[in-house]
């Protein structure tokens, strides 16, 4: 009878130690906000393949607004060759959940501002990202984009 009690005690201790402290949770939230609101848009707008390479996990896959799939290598090649046609890109987080297994979901709205032959515009899209924490660093493993809508800025 003692062995089941010891096992339960060991499991309870293990589960308690697996939970991040409030300080660690706050640090993770801040790191994820910085990654998605600052670093990710910067990598695309500045065509910074090194920065994007640090954000994306090797097994990263994306589904864009047209339903096309791409890998990390394809994303890096694309941003290296394609200068952004917009003036600014910002991201507003609407959902940020961190799970006890070192996985996070970051979702929200991207806003693109620019001008082209049709004039000044504002475009918005929705994006959901799944990230995992490896060796203390958050890496994106999946991204899905949908709901792209463009409007005249006039």
Q: Is residue 17 assigned to a domain?
A: no
* Residue 21 DSSP symbol: P
Q: Is residue 44 assigned to a domain?
A: yes
Query: What pLDDT is recorded for position 79?
Result: 95
Give the domain range for residue 137. Answer: 22-152
* pLDDT band of 22, cuts 50, 70, 90: confident
% of the chain with per-residue pLDDT over 90 = 83
Task: Determine the length of the chain.
Answer: 154
CATH number of the domain within which 50 lies: 3.10.450.50
Q: Is residue 60 assigned to a domain?
A: yes
Residue 51 has which token pair? Answer: 């920065």
Total-model pTM: 0.83
- The tally of domains found in the chain comes to 1
Q: Is residue 76 assigned to a domain?
A: yes
Q: Is residue 92 assigned to a domain?
A: yes
3-state DSSP percent of the chain in helix, strand and coil, to 5: 40, 45, 20
Query: What pLDDT is recorded for position 1?
Result: 46
Q: Is residue 7 assigned to a domain?
A: no
Q: Is residue 143 assigned to a domain?
A: yes
Residue 35 has which token pair? Answer: 């990654």
Query: What pLDDT is recorded for position 95?
Result: 98
Q: Is residue 126 assigned to a domain?
A: yes
Tell me the pairing of strands 137-152 and 56-63: parallel
pLDDT tens figures, 55-107 = 999 999 999 999 999 999 999 999 999 999 999 999 999 999 999 999 999 99
CB-based contacts of 53, cutoff 8 Å, min separation 6: 72, 76
């Amino acid at each position: 009878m003692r062995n089941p009690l010891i096992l339960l005690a060991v499991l309870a201790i293990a589960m308690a130690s697996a939970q991040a402290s409030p300080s660690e949770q706050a640090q993770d939230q801040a790191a994820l906000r910085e990654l998605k609101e600052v670093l990710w848009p910067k990598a695309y707008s500045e065509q910074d393949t090194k920065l994007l390479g640090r954000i994306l996990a090797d097994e990263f896959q994306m589904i864009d607004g047209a339903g096309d799939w791409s890998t990390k290598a394809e994303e890096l090649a694309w941003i290296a060759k394609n200068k952004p046609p917009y003036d600014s890109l910002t991201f507003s987080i609407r959902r940020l959940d961190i799970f006890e297994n070192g996985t996070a979901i970051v979702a929200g709205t991207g806003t693109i501002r620019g001008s082209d032959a049709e004039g000044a515009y504002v475009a918005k899209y929705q994006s959901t990202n799944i990230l995992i924490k490896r060796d203390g660093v958050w890496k994106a493993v999946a991204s899905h984009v949908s709901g792209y809508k463009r409007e005249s800025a006039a």
